Amino acid sequence: MGAMKEFTKGLWAENPIFRIVLGMCPTLAITTEAFNGIGMGLAATFVLVGSNVMISALRNFIPKKIRIPGYIVIIATFVTVVDLVMNAYFHPIYQKLGIFIPLIVVNCIIMGRAEAYAQKNGVIYSLLDGLGMGLGFTISIVVISMIRELIGNGTMFGAQIMGQAYVPFLLIILAPGAFMLLGSMLGGMNRLEIYMAKKAGRTPTFRKEHDCASCEVFGGWFDRGSKGIEAIK
């Protein structure tokens, strides 16, 4: 696999939010304003790149049996550094993100990449993987927070867009709105992937458990209408 592909897979094919569906806590919680999305995304990207590089460099030094505590200590160190540096030099955005900066420690994307990628691959590839995944995460949450800010507050990046007459649809800013929007976007992304895969004559890249057609809750209810997956297979 080429180095370029290691980087770009995080942006689309293995996008951590829309494809792997990891790191849902910050995705749902802080995406109320576009600036928050950028701040959170970049902070998580820094931690991800740092931890990926460190873990892949130490992959032969850390024994298998204690790898998880070892990774957590390394990740927690990077998070603490980000927390302190943001508090010192980017105080306004630090205040808005609050508790969610320390909570990057438990962001599953970071641990997931360490476990699934960095411990098996070289430093350069791990760096690219971390960068791609981090940027994929950043772009995804910025898009979500832009939509939420626009609909829920009538602004974008703090600038008034919808005009004074617009009555903000508050639900979308509150927690239930985050779930609704994320669910709709996940569905939309799956739909798009099915369409693109069909056109290119390949198998869709999303995991089976994240596709509506195989959802057990509805017993394949979605499938009856759309025939999406079956048609391609």
Positions touching another protein (CB under 8 A) are 32-33, 58, 61-63, 65-66, 69-70, 73-74, 76-77, 80-81, 84-85, 87-89, 91, 95, 98, 152-153, 168, 170, 173-174
> How far is Cα 58 from Cα 28, in angstroms, rounded to an integer?
33
What is the Cα–Cα distance from 124 to 133, expressed in whole angstroms? 14
Of 11 and 62, the one with the shorter C-beta distance to another protein is 62
Smaller CB separation from another protein, 74 or 135? 74
CB 131 to another protein: min, Å? 21
Cβ closest to another protein, residue 15 vs residue 51: 51
The count of C-alpha atoms lying within 13 angstroms of the C-alpha of 68, restricted to the half-sphere facing its C-beta, is 4
Contacts of 221 (CB under 8 A, 6+ apart): 215
**At closest approach, how far in Å is the CB of 69 from another protein?**
6
Burial (Cβ within 10 Å: 0-12, 13-18, ≥19) of residue 187: middle
- The DSSP result for 27-43, as a single string, is HHHSTTSHHHHHHHHHH
Please report how close the Cβ of residue 39 comes to another protein at its closest, in angstroms. 15
Task: Give the length of the chain.
Answer: 233
CB of 40 to another protein, least distance (A): 15
Q: Between 80 and 214, name the residue whose CB sits nearer to another protein.
A: 80
